[in-house]
């Protein structure tokens, strides 16, 4: 018998917070049971709940770039299996279609599980995780020189992995036969299944405790409350249309640069981001889908309105995202998309760049922007077994009104993720980490200076290794504003054992490494904020003492003359404002 509980405001709040807690428990379940470092160390995944219509209720995030993608996964599931009786208790659907519900690239595999209560479909449990391998022409599955989706790995077009609780073993056999590291990929799949079942169990327990009707009312309350909070914050923003444009370096095949642009219109009750006029989809794999674009814009929308707001679809009701069909922001089959983030993140950055001058209390100068993704493969020197590194890189964030930029942080698309620790990397992979340091190039000067990038160097311990990497913002720098200088670029340099230096470059595919060769992964310093001549001389002296800038940069850029031995201020140049 359904429990009878009074629908009071306190109960609605308790159930609302319980839904959020379920999303968090699902997140930790997946992290603690996965097999791949990119999941349990980097946290390159997301998990959560939607209502029966696919509206997002709660999402536990490692990767901010996945905000909203669970919604699209569930809605594609409903579109395909929406007829009465097509979805049953125990079903689990697998999907990574980039152009629809999948939204990103084939490596990000999503699972969706309908939740039933008393025979009625009441919600969905969903997650999306980066598998180390899904097949394709290159180790790690994503690459910088693919030209069509068929080169990038296995496609799961919204099909049942479980049918009424029974595993689709032939599908699992196909996966095992087509990926290079089946134990890792299938291990991660089972971790995702465990997380889905945790969400289902907890949601049903919530219905048992409070009654289905109260839970449904709480869902409506949760979504409505999110919308109210968003509208309240939009009312505080300046009204009007704000524009920005930029250029994406290239597509990995030598084509480019590609112009992209946005018009952001803010009214009393809408936040409209119009990307029409941006470059059409391209041959190389930097294209992103409309789903990915929406997820990127949702991230910056939260930053502008209410960064601490719990994520649900109600929050995003005032947001509208517009793009041309078959554009680089809204690619269609069979466009290559394996490094989609190089374009997706421009969706967030353009809105960021357009609004930073009018909401400087919320938005800093430009940052490294690119995931700076790396795939390094070869044979382990101790085990003689194949190994595969798949990871993002940290870098510098931009300065803002009243604060210097953060150093050694991941880009906006990666959010609160981590890189693989040095100890884990050297144990599991056939490399040595020669260097992991801040990049103190003095770029991003300003009254508040940009945060430092990092330098991470991998030395190959065996012959026949290869490295694939994509470091966007190699040609077009992180932007400063209000008089702040631009930051530095992302770049890759190869140092051969014979002393030959190859690079710097922004992208490479399967670059050969032999024993002793070093790949140096160098990320950008963020943009500066404010005129550098307004930075207090004492801060300039401390920056030089800590090696963030040189004594020469202190004089030439900041107008401060320092003693090269003691770093004490000896004077100011004539252009320095006193």
421 found inside a domain: yes
Domain residue limits at 123: 9-228
Cα–Cα dist 81/85, whole Å: 8
Please tell me the predicted confidence (pLDDT) of residue 2.
Answer: 45
Q: Find tokens 């030959």 and name the residue.
A: 500
Which CATH number fits the domain that encloses residue 219? 3.30.450
Tens digit of each residue's pLDDT (9 = 90 or more) over 427-440: 889 999 999 999 99
493 CB-contact burial (10 Å; exposed 0-12 / middle 13-18 / buried 19+): middle
Domain termination site, one of 175, 197, 228: 228
The predicted-structure confidence for 9-38, as pLDDT tens digits, reads as follows 888 888 888 988 898 899 889 988 988 877
In this prediction, residues 343-369 reach a mean pLDDT of: 95
The reply to whether 485 falls in a domain is yes
Q: How far is residue 551's CA from residue 564's CA, in Å, rounded to a whole number? A: 6
Mark 203-229 as b/e (b = at least 16 C-beta within 10 Å): bbebbeebbbebbbbbbebbbebbbeb
Residue 469 lies in a domain: yes
Q: Is residue 237 part of a domain?
A: no
Give the per-residue pLDDT at 1. Answer: 41
The residue length of the chain stands at: 578
Identify whether the C-beta of residue 367 lies closer than 8 Å to the C-beta of residue 526.
yes
CB atoms within 10 A of CB 516: 15
Read off φ and ψ for residue 452, nearest 5 degrees: -75, 145
Q: What is the residue whose two structure tokens read 């960064």?
A: 307
User: Which of 181, 209, 228 lies at the terminal end of a domain, its last residue?
Assistant: 228
Residue 426 in domain:
yes
Is 201 inside a domain boundary?
yes
The pLDDT of residue 164 is 94
- Cβ(112)–Cβ(74) under 8 Å? yes
Render pLDDT for 513-527 as a digit per residue (tens, 0 to 9).
Answer: 999 999 999 999 999
Longest dimension (CA), the chain: 83
The partner residues of 351 in beta bridges, in order of sequence, read none
Contact between residue 291 and residue 103 where contact means Cβ atoms under 8 Å apart: yes
Give me the pLDDT at residue 7, please: 63
Domains contained in the chain, number: 2
In a domain, 40, yes or no: yes
Alpha carbons 399 and 393: distance in angstroms, whole number: 19
Which of 412-416, 441-445, 447-451 has the least mean pLDDT? Answer: 412-416
Residue 327 in domain: no
For 72-129, the pLDDT digits (tens) are 999 999 999 977 779 999 999 999 999 988 888 999 999 999 999 999 999 999 999 9
Number of Cβ within a 10 Å radius of residue 272: 15
Retrieve residue 409's tokens: 């942080």
Among 203, 228, 253, the domain boundary falls at 228
Kindly provide the residue ranges of all beta strands, DSSP E only, lying in 275-367, ordered along the sequence: 319-322
Res 530: pLDDT = 95
The confidence score (pLDDT) of residue 6 equals 56
Token pair, residue 551, equals 């004594």
């Amino acid at each position: 018998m359904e429990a009878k509980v009074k629908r009071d405001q306190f109960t609605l709040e308790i159930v609302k917070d319980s839904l959020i807690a379920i999303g968090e428990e699902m997140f930790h379940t997946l992290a603690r049971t996965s097999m791949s470092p990119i999941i349990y160390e980097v946290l390159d995944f997301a998990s959560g709940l939607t209502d029966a219509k696919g509206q997002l209720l709660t999402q536990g995030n490692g990767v901010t770039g996945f905000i909203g993608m669970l919604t699209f996964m569930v809605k594609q599931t409903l579109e395909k299996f929406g007829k009465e009786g097509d979805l049953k208790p125990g079903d689990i659907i697998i999907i990574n279609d980039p152009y629809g519900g999948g939204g990103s690239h084939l490596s990000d595999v999503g699972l969706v599980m309908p939740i039933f209560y008393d025979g009625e479909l009441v919600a969905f449990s969903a997650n999306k995780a980066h598998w180390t391998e899904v097949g394709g022409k290159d180790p790690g599955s994503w690459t910088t020189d693919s030209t069509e989706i068929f080169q990038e790995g296995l496609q799961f077009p919204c099909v049942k992995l479980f049918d009424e609780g029974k595993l689709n073993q032939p599908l699992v056999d196909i996966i095992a036969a087509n990926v290079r590291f089946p134990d890792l990929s299938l291990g991660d799949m089972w971790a995702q299944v465990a997380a889905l079942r945790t969400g289902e169990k907890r949601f049903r327990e919530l219905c048992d405790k409070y009654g289905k009707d109260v839970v449904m009312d709480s869902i409506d309350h949760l979504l409505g409350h999110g919308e109210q909070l968003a509208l309240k914050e939009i009312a505080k923003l300046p009204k009007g249309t704000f524009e920005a444009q930029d250029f994406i370096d290239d597509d990995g095949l030598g084509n480019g640069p590609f112009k992209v642009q946005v018009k952001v219109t803010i009214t009393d009750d809408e936040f409209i981001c119009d990307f029409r006029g941006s470059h059409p989809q391209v041959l190389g794999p930097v294209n992103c889908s409309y789903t990915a674009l929406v997820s990127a814009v949702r991230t910056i929308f939260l930053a502008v309105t209410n960064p601490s707001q719990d994520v649900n679809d109600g929050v995003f009701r005032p947001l509208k995202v517009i793009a041309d069909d078959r554009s680089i922001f809204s690619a269609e089959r069979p466009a290559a998309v394996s490094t989609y983030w190089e374009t997706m993140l421009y969706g967030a950055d353009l809105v960021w760049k357009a609004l930073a001058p009018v909401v400087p209390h919320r938005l800093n100068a430009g940052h490294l922007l690119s995931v700076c993704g790396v795939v390094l493969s070869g044979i382990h020197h101790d085990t003689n077994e194949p190994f595969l590194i798949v990871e993002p890189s940290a870098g510098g964030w931009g300065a803002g009104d009243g604060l210097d930029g953060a150093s050694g942080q991941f880009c906006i698309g990666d959010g609160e993720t981590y890189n693989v620790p040095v100890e884990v990397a050297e144990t599991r992979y056939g490399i040595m980490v020669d260097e992991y340091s801040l990049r103190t190039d003095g770029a991003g000067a300003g009254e508040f200076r940009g945060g430092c990038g990092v330098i991470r160097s991998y030395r190959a311990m065996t012959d026949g290794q290869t490295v694939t990497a994509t470091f966007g913002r190699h040609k077009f720098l992180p932007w400063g504003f209000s008089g702040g200088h631009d930051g530095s670029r992302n770049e890759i340099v190869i140092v051969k054992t014979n002393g030959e230096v190859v690079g710097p470059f922004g992208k490479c595919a399967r670059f050969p490494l032999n024993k002793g060769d070093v790949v140096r992964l160098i990320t950008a310093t963020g943009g500066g904020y404010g005129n550098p001549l307004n930075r207090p001389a004492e801060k300039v002296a401390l920056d030089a003492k800590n090696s963030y800038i040189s004594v020469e940069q202190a004089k030439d850029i900041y107008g401060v003359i320092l003693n090269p031995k003691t770093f004490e201020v000896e004077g100011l140049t004539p252009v320095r404002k006193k």
